[in-house]
Every structure is written in C-alpha cells, then in structure tokens.
Chain A
C-alpha cells in the first residue's frame, strides 16, 4: 500500500508539472480548431486590455459601473462628467457576477467609489461565465481572486487558459497587446464608443426562459453584501436592448421580481422606447442610444449629489 500511495503521489506531482508544459506547447504548435479546450485570446473585442491599464491609473471616483458589454458600451463617462460625476466603467465582454466579483475586489479600495451601478442582464445570470473568464485571464494578472474563480467554475477551458496565460506571462512578461480591427473607440474611463447603427435581420429567433444559475446569483449577492459592508450605495440597472431582443425572454416579469429583491432596480427596457437606430446591435446601444439612456438615467437615479463629493 505504501508503495502504491508513494507512486500515486509522484505520478500526481509529475502530472501537475508536465501537463501545463504540454498545454503550453500544444497551444503554440496547433491552431485554434485543433486545441478544443484551449481558447486563449491575447486581445479582445471589448478593449479590456486598455480598460484595465486605464483602471490601474485611476483613483477616487464617484460612480463605478459594473457589468458586461452592456456596461462598457452603455455608460459614457463624458456625459456624467458634465454633471461633475467621475465615472469608471469596469465592464467586460459577457461579464457575469463571478468575474464582476473579481474585478470589484481588485479595484474597490483603489477606486473608492461613492455609488455603484450594477448593470444586470438576466441572460448572463444564467451563463456559465466561461467567455468572460477567458477574456479576463488573457488581459489581467492572475492572482488569488482568480484561483477562487477557477474553483467556482471548475471548467477545464478556464484552467487551460490560465495555465497558458501564466506560462506566457513568465516567458513574455511585457506582452505586446494585439489590436483587433474594430470601428469602436476606447474612451478614457472604460467606455467603448460606437456610432454603428443596427439593421435588423430577417428570421425569427426562438423565445426562451432564463434560468438563473445559483453560482451567479450567489456571486451577485456577495458583491451586494460587500458593497453594503463598505457603507456604499448601489443601484441595479437593466440597460435597454432592442424590443425584439427583450421579447425573446419569456420570463422577464419573473426576472424583474427576482432582481428587484436585491435592491433598488430600474429596468430601462420598460422606461425607454428606442428604435433600432439607437442600437449598435440587437442588445447594445450605440452612441446615439447611450446619450438618451444616460440622460434618462441621470434623471431617474439620484446620483447628481455625488458631484458634491467630487468637488470635495
């Protein structure tokens, strides 16, 4: 038995050492379609790399925006600045509460915000969060918060990406960021600006019920508890999507009921009527839409007093 356990221990150690090396080599040799569970992107369409570099030099803000691409495409810091409110937008592509929690923990003390808007898109509460994890792994430094994320997600794609990213960072610490051709423009404060107008495509999408994942809901509750324990205020917001996209979710009423239990909540799909011209695609606002939405947000949520803090 002793020999068995010792050999098992040695073999496990060897796996822990050799497996990452093979993953890294495989990633370097084979193109994407031949490495199914290694999806590593060194740049993202959501400009997360620029946003995080911007975040690293930002301190003491009034309003922090958390959420997915709905956040970084939906809240323009320039509009808030006119009201004297300093905003940082910490959204990332398909960000779910699991990743929001990591970024929030990472930047909370540095940003020292007075108020937080959590942009809540119900479909992402049902997501496994893999896409956003991959985005973060490729663009952020791995730390203990990520380890917690791996344990929660228990997904080999995320683990392989983390292995690859770690070895890549060791071998090439000052990685040059690859630029992806895009009509989007990065705006200081974490915002992504686009004037592209959405053209609806023919064809019918299938309606679905959102089933919130316990893992995501738990993460969201933890974020809110942390906000409360730091004596900060927060608002939950669902930013607008196209009418057609909104109608695809069959249980919107139930979603509103669930989210409103977590705190003050505004669903702007019910408060604004925007045509397709105000959208970049079927669920993201373009700059024309952002102006309308942000003005309405400022009228709705009592965040103008935050400006006083900024002046102090």
Chain B
C-alpha cells in the first residue's frame, strides 16, 4: 500500500477512528491495533514476507533479553553475533547475493577463469534495510548498556513495524520511539493538525514535484545518448529534485501520519539543498541513516579520536557502506565514495562543523557568499546524484562525458518531448521559495500562515490541494527508497 494511493486514503481514517474512538481506553489495545494495521499495511505488498518481518522481530526481541539477562561477556557477545549475523545474513541473501555472485564471476573472468555462477531470482522484501537497522540499533544499544530491553513483545513489535516508518524509515531508535510506545496517549489537537499539514506538504512533494520531475528525468537518463549537454544537466537537476521530493515527501507523510496517532518520529530531512558545504548537507539529508552510521559504525571504528589518517579512513568507510546500503550496485558505492571525497577538505581542514546553524538565520535573503556556498554544494550533490540514478557505472560515465562533449550551451528544452517540462520547472521555483521561507522550521509549511486569519490560511492549504489535483502524476508511483 502506497502513501499516495486511494487505498491509503481509506486505510488511514479507518485506523484513526478505531484508534481514537474504539480502543482509546486501553494502551494495550491501541498498540495491538497499530501492530495489526502495520502487518496488514505490509501484507499489501507481499504477505509472505510477513514471516520474515515477524522472525526478525522475534530474534531481536529475544536476543535483547538474552544479552541483558547475563553478565557473561562471552555469552553476551554470542547473542549479539547471532542477532547481527542472522539479520545481516537475511539482508545479504535478499539484497546482495546477486551483486556478490556477479562481481565474483566478473573478477574470475578477468583472470581467465570462466565460472558459471548462478544468480538467484529473489524478490527484495520491501523495507528490509530499514527494519533490519531498527532491530540492530536495539540490540546494539542493549549490548552497550544504553537501554534496558522491553519485556513487552507487542510494544517491541510495534517499534519495529509501525506502519508509517516500516518501509522507508525514518530509521528509529529504541531510546526515542520505544518510550512513546509504552506511554498512554492522549489526543492533542495541535499535534493532529500539524500531522495533517505535514502529510499535505509531503503528498505535494511526492506527487507533484518528485513525480513531475521523474517524468523528464527518466526520459533524459534513459535516452541520454540522444540529448545535448545542457539537456543532460537539466536531467540531473530534475533528478536532484525528484529524489528530494520523493524521499523527504515520504518522510513528511510518515512523520505526519505518526503524529495523528500521537507519536513523534525522528526528523529525517532538514532542507539539505540549502547547505553551505557537504558536511552540512549530510547533517540534513536522511538524518536518521547518517546518525545511525555515525553511532554504530563511525564511533565504534574510532570516530575522530585517532589521528587524521583514522578520521579519513573512517569517513571513507561510512560513506562507502552508506552507498552500499542503498543498493547492490557499484553506482551506489561510487556515489558514496564521491561524497566522501567531497567532504574530505572539510575533514582535513577541520571545517566540517563550521556550518551548524541555519543559513541566513533570521534574515530573508542569504548573503552573496552564502548563495555561492549553497550553489557550489548543490552542484556537487547534483554531480553525485548522476551515479545514484544511472543504471550502471558505464551509463554514469557516458552521461557525464555527454554533458561536456555535446552542446552544453544549447537551450535544453528544444526537444519536442521536453517542452512541457517547463511546467514542472515553473512549479519547482515556488516550491524552492516556500522551502526557503520555512527552512527554520521542521517542514516548510509548518509555520507559514500560522498567524494568518483562518480563511486566508485555509485558502493557502486549499491551493496546495488544487496544485496536487492539477499537477499530480495520475498513476500511483512507488517511492524510490522502497527499493532499498
């Protein structure tokens, strides 16, 4: 079931009504209802993988208890290895088996050995990377004695599979979400209104901006050899907005939906395209994943405590692993590597925490220098996204060489099939302006119109509804991050 589907439009109010009107007197029943709804939500993709989700949940729940109940270091480690090994084993089989087998086969053929390695016809279970990371963080936190495990299996199951975050995050932490599962909930008007507002903005980002950009980005990327350099640049920029609209739109809908049920999820995006350097970009893009890698990989590897060499090594490791987390393809690994390269100057010169505040905070316009910083950071991310979007490394390379070899100064819309892309570009401009206006809040329209009279504020929301109706993509399209 997609957030941008009519089925979800029916599913959400039904669960909402049952939650607040039927089982509202019992926390236990509220959690059971949400768990049942989450399993139903997941089964709409493929019910067979519910068993995998349930097994993974049970494994981590039981491992957590077992680790906590013993002081024997060896036994604790065995349980940790068992949990991590099985979780990563599932991830390895479902997500990475074919990648490793192909890469191994190709490596052998390079040295003259023709190995007949069979690939498996495996369906990737939706959300496996996300719920595996939920479970892992829980077990790591117990092992490191940051938290004590819950003894309530329903609450833990809900923490792993809560439907707004089940298939594409944010990657929650037990320290943040589990206490919310344990506390009785009361309906808060402001929180529920905020939730709906965030859902509205998320839907706009997904079905208008992301899907609108996807139409032309796909056309340009899929036929990149036919287009001029300037059109290829346009394609890369459109993909840059597509992936932002798609993933941050998903996150907004997830956060907004969770708010309707009284939960606050981790913020996943913080206006990343207004970053002044790559380090700031990575503090603002897919925050829950970046912090996950920081806490469970970068710091255990020594973080920045060692010398410069260790910092550089660790930075490369987390970016490469992060790239690989996204997908079993060399394009993602190179994308991660590129980002590591881009961030290196700020690591070496220790300027990576220069821009921890909000750009042009308290001002309407940025300074020229800030604008230059934003533009150069944006250009670097656009360049890296080419690898992320391309179907293979060869495709990415031909795309980049195409940019510099063919008519880079030609008007990019001269192809008849691209002329209508002017509409999406005209929508991107006000979209960026609204995002800029709202950059000091949790999501762009959180405070816009907050002090306006209700008729004016509601008119603004209705206009967003209208823009969705007039410019949305008419077919339901999956979110990009579902494939990860």
- Chain A interfacial positions (CB closer than 8 Å to B): 1, 3-4, 7-8, 11, 14-15, 18-19, 22-23, 26, 33-38, 130, 154-157, 159-160
Q: Say whether B474 contacts A23, CB under 8 Å.
A: no
Q: Say whether B420 contacts A33, CB under 8 Å.
A: yes
Q: Which residues of chain B come closer than 8 Å to A23, judged between CB atoms?
A: 466, 469-470
Contact residue among A7, A15, A26, A33 (Cβ-Cβ distance under 8 Å from B465):
A15
Q: Which residues of chain B come closer than 8 Å to A157, judged between CB atoms?
A: 474
Q: With A23-B470, A37-B471, A156-B469 in contact, is A14–B462 under 8 Å at CB?
A: yes
Q: Say whether A14 contacts B458, CB under 8 Å.
A: yes
Q: Say whether B458 contacts A26, CB under 8 Å.
A: no
Q: Which residues of chain A come closer than 8 Å to B470, judged between CB atoms?
A: 23, 26, 35-38, 160
26 A-B residue pairings within 8 Å (CB atoms): A1-B20, A3-B189, A4-B187, A4-B192, A8-B196, A11-B458, A15-B465, A19-B462, A19-B466, A22-B463, A22-B466, A23-B470, A33-B422, A33-B423, A36-B420, A36-B471, A37-B469, A37-B472, A130-B474, A154-B6, A155-B474, A156-B469, A156-B474, A157-B474, A159-B469, A160-B470
Nearest-Cβ distance from residue A70 to partner chain B, whole angstroms: 26
Closest to A36 in B: B471
Q: Which residues of chain A come closer than 8 Å to B426, judged between CB atoms?
A: 34
Nearest-Cβ distance from residue A260 to partner chain B, whole angstroms: 31
What 14 new A-B contacts, CB under 8 Å, besides A4-B187, A8-B196? A1-B20, A4-B189, A4-B192, A18-B466, A22-B463, A26-B470, A33-B420, A34-B426, A37-B470, A37-B471, A38-B470, A154-B6, A156-B472, A157-B474
Contact residue among B6, B20, B469 (Cβ-Cβ distance under 8 Å from A19):
B469
Closest to B426 in A: A34
The answer, yes or no, to whether B299 is at the interface (CB within 8 Å) is no
Q: Which residues of chain A come closer than 8 Å to B471, judged between CB atoms?
A: 36-37
In the complex, which of the residues B420, B465, B470 has the most CB atoms of chain A within 10 Å of its own CB atom? B470
Main secondary structure of the interface of A (DSSP, over half): helix
- Chain B interfacial positions (CB closer than 8 Å to A): 6, 20, 187, 189, 192-193, 196, 419-420, 422-423, 426, 458-459, 461-463, 465-466, 469-472, 474
A11→B459 CA distance, assembly (Å):
10
Nearest-Cβ distance from residue B4 to partner chain A, whole angstroms: 12
Q: With A4-B193, A33-B420 in contact, is A18–B469 under 8 Å at CB?
A: no
Q: Say whether B189 contacts A19, CB under 8 Å.
A: no
A26→B466 CA distance, assembly (Å):
10
Q: Which residues of chain B come closer than 8 Å to A7, judged between CB atoms?
A: 193
In the complex, which of the residues B458, B465, B466, B472 has the most CB atoms of chain A within 10 Å of its own CB atom? B466
Q: Say whether B6 contacts A15, CB under 8 Å.
A: no
Nearest-Cβ distance from residue B36 to partner chain A, whole angstroms: 22
Q: Which residues of chain B come closer than 8 Å to A11, judged between CB atoms?
A: 458, 461
Nearest-Cβ distance from residue A230 to partner chain B, whole angstroms: 33
| A-B complex: 4 closest residue pairs judged by Cβ atoms | A22-B466, A1-B187, A18-B462, A36-B471
Q: Which residues of chain A come closer than 8 Å to B419, judged between CB atoms?
A: 33
A4→B465 CA distance, assembly (Å):
19
Q: Say whether B423 contacts A34, CB under 8 Å.
A: yes
Closest to B187 in A: A1
